[in-house]
Every structure is written in structure tokens, then in C-alpha cells.
Amino acid sequence: MSMVRAGCITKLTRRRRSGSSGLGFLGSSKRSISSGEEDRSPSEGKKRFAAVWGNGDYGRLGLGSLESQWRPAFCSSFGSQNLQSIACGGAHTLFLTETGCVYATGLNDFGQLGISDDKSYTTEPLKVSGLPNKIVKISAGYHHSSAISVDGELYMWGKNSNGQLGLGKSNKAWISSKLFYV
């Protein structure tokens, strides 16, 4: 699927994510198209971004508001950083940048955002604390989140009422816990 907007060609690549945050897509934006030939280099001259839509309650879309979006909207919270992946949970969303940083937005009632416990939700993506510098994979459950580091370490945080964090049965883990190597 491609879309022309303000002189730019935006190529969207479908990446369906589960959860009620709507669908998330990662797109590549190419600014100079005067030659008519598409540049095939991996990320040179391209910006990978998130186009999000769906229910906006608790700020789960990361657009800075609680408004729902029924058409794709550009998530501009990452400045010059390219996105690698998106994971949608019950009412929260995780974003992974190409530099290996994880950002989270939405509901934080069980610590699933991995941010300060004094925020019950956030409408803009905030950096997850307590993770190593380079994360390569992310996943979001209904009230919990996880990440795998470049070294194969698994980190999980959020609600743990049924042992979903692998820490036995306890209420929650506000700070990421390293579980084991995968």
C-alpha cells in the first residue's frame, strides 16, 4: 500500500499486531523521488515510523491525546529515531527503536509501561526504565510487557497475578526483572 502526501511517497508495510490499540504499521518515508527510481539501500534516506489508529483511551495510541483515530495517524514522538517494531497490549503500546530503546504509552495500572508508578497512564510514549541499552524484541500482553536484549536476556514487567512474568505469583513488578537467557 502506498500513499502520496505533501510531495512524499510513504510506503506502508503491514505488520499486524494483536490487542485493542488498533493496528500498528511501520512505514518508510522517502523524501526525494525526483529521479523516479526507488532507492533500495536498507535505511539510507528512509525514516521508519508508526502509523496508528483505533481506540485512543488511556493514550494507548501515543498521539498525545485520549482521542480515538479511525484512520492511520502518524506518531511523531520519536523525532529522528527510526522504529523497528510495535507491540500492542490490552490498553498499552510498546515501540522499539532501531537503536534498541523501548518506549511505552497507554494504561499503566499494573506497571505494564515500565515507567514510574505515579502515572496511571500516559498519552505520549515514555522510555521504559531499567532495561539494558540494546533491546532486539518486544512483546505486550494484556497487562504485562516483555523485551529481549541483544545478549538474549529476557525482561518482563507488569501484572503477575497468574505468574505471567515467571516470578511466581505476586501482584506486580514495576521495574523490569531479568529472568534468564533465551
Please write the tens of the pLDDT for every residue from 118-155. 899 999 999 998 888 799 999 999 999 999 999 999 89
The pTM for the full model equals 0.75
Please write the tens of the pLDDT for every residue from 72-127. 999 989 888 899 999 999 999 999 999 999 999 999 999 999 997 789 999 999 99
* Residue ranges covered by each domain of the chain: 2-181
- Round the average pLDDT of the chain to a whole number and report it: 76
What's the confidence (pLDDT) of residue 100? 95
Segment 24-50 shows an average pLDDT of: 51
Question: Three-state SS string across the chain, please?
Answer: CEEEECCEEEEEECCCCCCCCCCEEEEEEECCCCCCCCCCCCCCCEEEEEEEEECCHHHCCCCCCCCCEEEEEEECCCCCCCEEEEEECCCEEEEEECCCCEEEEEECCCCCCCCCCCCCEEEEEEECCCCCCCEEEEEECCCEEEEEECCCEEEEEEECCCCCCCCCCCCEEEEEEEEEEC
- Domain 2-181 is of which CATH architecture? 7 Propeller (2.130)
